[in-house]
Amino acid sequence: MKRRELLATSAAALGLAATLGSKARAQTPLKVGFVYIGPPGDFGWTYAHDQARLAAQEHFGDAVETFYVDNVPEGPDAERIMTQMALSGANMIFATSFGYGPSLNAVAQRFPNIAFEHATGYLQEAPNVSLYNARFYEGRAVIGTIAGRMTQTNKIGYIASFPIPEVIMGINAAYIHAKKVNPDITLSVVWAYSWFDPAQEAAAAEALIEQGCDILMQHTDSTAPLSVAQQRGALAFGQASDMTQFAPDVHLTAIIDNWAPYYIKRIQEKLDGTWVADNVWSGIPEDEVTFAPFNDRIPAEVQDEANALIESIRDGSYHPFTGPLNRQDGSAWLAEGEVADDGTLLGMNFYVEGITGDIPN
Amino acid sequence: MDFGSINPVVLIASLMVAATPILLAAIGELVVEKAGVLNLGVEGMMIVGAVAGFAAAVTTGSPILGMLAAIIAGAAVSLIFALLTQVLMANQVASGLALTLFGLGFSALLGQSYVGIVPPRTEKLDFGPLSDLPVVGRILFGHDILVYVSLFVVAGVWYWLNYTRGGRVLRAVGENHDSAHALGYKVKRVRILAILFGGACAGLGGAYLSLVRVPQWTEGMTAGAGWIALALVVFASWKPWRVLAGAYLFGGIMVLQLNLQAAGYRIPVEYLAMSPYIITILVLVVMSSNRTRRTLAAPGSLGRSFHAAG
């Protein structure tokens, strides 16, 4: 329904813009469109982007008009929606899912005056395409540390979405840091093959708990695994936003995606006419990756350890992927003290040594 | 078969739970299609049931009242479809798709103030010592009430369609509405009642997701379950017990592949995860061809509007 309404209003706006001409357009606010993969009410990925959109809207007031289209599938639909946004007068478009890449670049080539911002993307085929991403693996390193300290059964469950570098990076970061504080842990990964399917995610959580995992991490967007963990008494971490309310007893903390500073900065640049395409990857130091308040169940010394890790990442003295690290097959990846470069991380398609199981193709 | 660290009893018990939403929705749709109506709005009716059941359960504190509300809400939404297709003679395929879009949007609107709330817990039925029996205890006597209701509905639909006058009239309407009309049966009344039954079942299936399976309200939480239910009806060639088997098969594949992954088995996850959808697509392709439809024993008047002539 929302999409239809949007199409109707955009069509009206288009007609209006055409009749009023360029004079009126100069006074109109900067229009910023957002393309979402899921619903803003998922309390996960899309929710985090929408909170940032609202923060930007509040920051700029009447100078900026934001709007969004939700539940946009990756593929031809995305191209259609972005074209529609461009035709309806958007000056800037934020597309917030990995798979929008080809569509976004195709649309960007046709509308060179519109600033395109692609979250977690890698394709930059036009001068008006900018990429932005967050170093979620820094957050995964922190929750991995907490998980390694808190597990009783030494089994950690991980609900993954799709086998793409972003997700594999997160699994590796969590595993490395859990293993570092607790050499006995094993990590069970379940691929849900969906970013958002509450029933499937709940079933995955059940299966992991059945297998003896007493602590769950997720790289899917719904709060269903938290609900299951709460019911079954397993510990869990929220994803993308503070999910405490879904599992007040067992929600230890959450990696929070804080896009607001970036959105406000980029929209300001567009307003000032200083916007240029960029490729940024921010994390804990820029407060793009933050954490929900730690649950009291986490012992003070573990909280201190986690906070120390956060601070060391913040001041740049520590990188979560620091050697010596081997690949799963035992071959050397990083030598002692060597730090992974961004290119390798963004193309990561292997597990580190110690993780069992295969990455699906 | 060696399942290693996977407990087959737990597996069977959880596949029954996983299958219940699609089973309920599919058995409802089976009755609708047996009456000659193709309602593609199952997904929309399910999600409206999910949000209505959730809201009612949270407000009243009773999951049972929530389920009743879901039944009423599902039926109420299906009434829109009945009005469009049976009274206004609109195209059934288009009306059904519209109903799904409407349901998804409408439920998101209704559910805004229910995001992030934990619903009252639906307790498992207490069978006393029976639940403690080895194997059968967990599989047969370890569920909440809706799992049993869904089985009862399947048995009831099977009996009613095959052995009662009403069921036979409904089938006659679905096979050939002109003949049924000539014999004096009220084609539209039968169809409207069937549509309402389908809506009620879909609504209940949706509530099972939001109250038991997940349990929480999230926008778009049915995530395609309604489409699987639709395909299941064809997959089962319009036979109630086969719907049950199909639902448990789909539920089983999903639960089994997740459990195999959790237990660390090397399986081609991507194929298993997509298998229900591939079967769904295949079935829908098969259904769209007229010749195969006949061999699958589809109701003769399925999807055709009825205009009373003379």
User: Hey, what CATH topology would domain B8-126+138-295 get?
Assistant: ABC transporter involved in vitamin B12 uptake, BtuC (1.10.3470)
Other residues' Cβ atoms within 10 Å of the Cβ of residue B85 = 27
Q: Does A12 have pLDDT greater than 60?
A: no
> What does A120-170 look like in DSSP terms, one character per residue?
T-----STTEEEEEE-HHHHHHHHHHHHHHH-SSSEEEEEE---SHHHHHH
Residues A271-296: what's their mean pLDDT? Answer: 94
Tens digit of pLDDT for each residue in A221-240?
Answer: 888 899 899 988 999 999 98
Q: For the packed helices B240-262 and B269-288, what is the interaxial angle rounded to 10 degrees? A: 160
Tens digit of pLDDT for each residue in B89-107?
Answer: 999 999 999 999 999 999 9
B214 contacts A198 by C-beta, under 8 angstroms: yes
Are A199 and B261 inside 8 Å of each other by CB? no
Tens digit of pLDDT for each residue in B270-281?
Answer: 777 777 777 777
Contacts of B47 in chain A (CB under 8 A): none
What class has domain A2-134? Answer: alpha beta
CA–CA separation, A241 vs A139, rounded Å?
A: 12
Contacts of B261 in chain A (CB under 8 A): 188-191, 204, 207, 357
CA–CA separation, A242 vs A196, rounded Å?
A: 17
Q: Does A2 have pLDDT greater than 60?
A: no
Q: Does B128 have pLDDT greater than 80?
A: no
What does the pLDDT read at residue B78?
Answer: 96
Q: Does B26 have pLDDT greater than 90?
A: yes
User: How near does any CA of chain A get to the CA of B131, in Å?
Assistant: 19
CATH superfamily of A136-256+290-346: Response regulator (3.40.50.2300)
* CB proximity A188 to B under 8 Å: yes
* CB proximity A34 to B under 8 Å: no
One-letter amino acid identity for B39? N
Residue from the list A198, A207, A210 with its beta carbon closest to the beta carbon of B214: A198
Domain residue limits, chain A = 2-134, 136-256+290-346
Tens digit of pLDDT for each residue in B242-297?
Answer: 999 989 988 888 888 888 888 887 777 777 777 777 777 777 677 666 666 666 67
CA–CA separation, A158 vs A142, rounded Å?
A: 15
Tens digit of pLDDT for each residue in B194-237?
Answer: 999 999 999 999 999 999 888 888 888 888 899 889 988 988 88
Domain residue limits, chain B = 8-126+138-295
Tens digit of pLDDT for each residue in B31-77?
Answer: 999 999 999 999 999 999 999 999 999 999 999 999 999 999 999 99
Q: Same topology for domains A2-134 and A136-256+290-346, yes or no?
A: yes
Other residues' Cβ atoms within 10 Å of the Cβ of residue B233 = 28
CA–CA separation, B70 vs B66, rounded Å?
A: 6
What does the pLDDT read at residue A159?
Answer: 96
Tokens coding B168: 């036979």
Residues B301-305: what's their mean pLDDT? Answer: 85
Phi, psi of B234 (to 5 degrees): -70, -45
Tens digit of pLDDT for each residue in A142-157?
Answer: 999 999 999 999 999 9
- Relative to beta strand A332-334, strand A325-326 is antiparallel
Q: What is the ipTM of this complex?
A: 0.80
Q: Does A4 have pLDDT greater than 70?
A: no
User: How near does any CA of chain B get to the CA of A195, in Å?
Assistant: 11
